[in-house]
């Protein structure tokens, strides 16, 4: 059972192609025109062991918002397609990941229901030219289109880069665990029989 997908999304503002392989090796080839987003998604790919290819072009001459949000939409759609058959998956996972002085907790339910609880606030709103408020927009678009429940909570931290790096690494860890296939799980991991 191949757990992979390709999604293309083209609007007047962006042109995006996403390819993922859940059962990959953590190979990330990311090019969005938004350096910070590229870096975070490469971390996510590496630590989740999910192969991710993203090629995105958009109106970054205006700002990064459209590209960041639309990459979240397309990546979420790709995940939803790739794990459409949820039979045998672990389904739930939580992880706390440190990055020097920062600590972020992520909890995931591959539920078929979209919900984001996002509790990360930082003292700075910019990292270089990147508005870190766009991370929440990315996560919201990703969660909505993947139809997952995700909680991201900052436990402690000061360095803004470390906080967001810990967040994406925590996201990677919970995806790596929740999407594992456990041969003891028969069918869909729900008493309803469907996710």
Q: pLDDT (tens digit, 9 = 90+) per residue, 173-183? A: 999 999 998 88
How many C-beta atoms lie closer than 10 Å to residue 133's C-beta? 13
Q: What is the rounded average pLDDT for all residues in the chain?
A: 94
Compute the average pLDDT of residues 22-35: 97
- Band of pLDDT at residue 135, cut at 50, 70 and 90: very high
Contact of 30 with 38, CB cutoff 8 Å:
yes
- Band of pLDDT at residue 191, cut at 50, 70 and 90: low
Distance CA 65, CA 56 (A): 13
Give residue 195's pLDDT: 63
Residue 124 has pLDDT above 90, yes or no: no
- Looking at per-residue pLDDT, the higher value among 192 and 131 belongs to 131
Ordered domains of the chain (ranges, CATH): 4-178 (3.30.230.40)
pLDDT per position as a tens digit, 37-52: 999 999 999 999 999 9
Residue 190 has pLDDT above 70, yes or no: no
- Residues in the chain, overall count: 195
**pTM of model > 0.75:** yes
- Band of pLDDT at residue 65, cut at 50, 70 and 90: very high
Give residue 139's pLDDT: 98
Residue 105: which of 117, 115, 113, 114 has the closest Cα? 117
Give residue 41's pLDDT: 98
Give residue 1's pLDDT: 60
Residue 189 has pLDDT above 80, yes or no: no
Residue 123 has pLDDT above 90, yes or no: no
Compute the average pLDDT of residues 123-144: 95
Residue 94 has pLDDT above 90, yes or no: yes
């Amino acid at each position: 059972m191949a757990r992979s997908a390709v999604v293309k999304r083209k609007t007047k503002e962006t042109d995006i192609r996403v390819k993922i392989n859940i059962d990959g090796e953590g190979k990330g080839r990311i090019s969005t025109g938004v350096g910070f987003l590229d870096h975070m998604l490469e971390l996510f790919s590496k630590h989740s062991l999910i192969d991710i290819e993203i090629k995105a072009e958009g109106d970054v001459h205006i700002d990064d918002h459209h590209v960041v949000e639309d990459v979240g939409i397309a990546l979420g759609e790709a995940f939803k397609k790739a794990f459409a058959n949820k039979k045998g998956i672990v389904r739930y996972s939580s992880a706390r990941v440190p990055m020097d002085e920062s600590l972020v907790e992520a909890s995931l339910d591959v539920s078929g229901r979209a919900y984001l609880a996002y509790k990360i606030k930082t003292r700075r709103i910019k990292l270089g030219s990147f508005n870190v408020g766009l991370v929440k927009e990315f996560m919201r678009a990703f969660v909505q289109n993947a139809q997952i429940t995700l909680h991201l909570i900052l436990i402690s931290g000061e360095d803004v880069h470390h906080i967001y790096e810990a967040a994406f690494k925590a996201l990677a860890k919970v995806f790596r665990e929740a999407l594992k296939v456990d041969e003891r799980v028969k069918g869909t991991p729900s008493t309803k029989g469907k996710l």
